[in-house]
């Protein structure tokens, strides 16, 4: 992860501050959900704490997955805002 950050750091520095902070926040929320919450869940389950308690397991899993999705939403919103405000391209969706 540190090597990946070192490789994209010049690109991140070239972005406007608002966009850069949005991408960093998105990555932070996503990684927190993926690594920290899943690690915590694994630690608790391994300890035998909530393996039988399906409600607690479901709550931990829901929080973890929600954080990952929220990180993706922050990224998508930041990328779309960058395209509209900085690159001045129009973004539209036809359903």
Q: What is the pLDDT of residues 32-50, one digit of tens each?
A: 999 988 888 877 776 665 5
pLDDT of 51 > 70? The answer is no
Average pLDDT, the chain: 87
Distance CA 19, CA 64 (A): 25
pTM of the model: 0.81
**CA-based nearest residue to 67, from 20, 31, 24:** 31
| Predicted local confidence at residue 52, as pLDDT | 57
Torsions phi, psi of 74, nearest 5? -60, -45
């Amino acid at each position: 992860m540190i090597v990946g950050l070192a490789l994209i750091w010049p690109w991140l520095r070239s972005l406007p501050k608002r966009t850069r902070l949005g991408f960093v926040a998105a990555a932070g929320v996503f990684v927190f959900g993926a690594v920290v919450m899943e690690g915590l869940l694994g630690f608790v389950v391994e300890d035998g704490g909530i393996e039988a308690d399906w409600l607690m397991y479901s709550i931990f899993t829901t929080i973890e997955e929600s954080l990952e999705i929220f990180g993706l939403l922050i990224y998508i919103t930041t990328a779309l805002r960058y395209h509209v405000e900085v690159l001045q391209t129009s973004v539209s969706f036809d359903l």
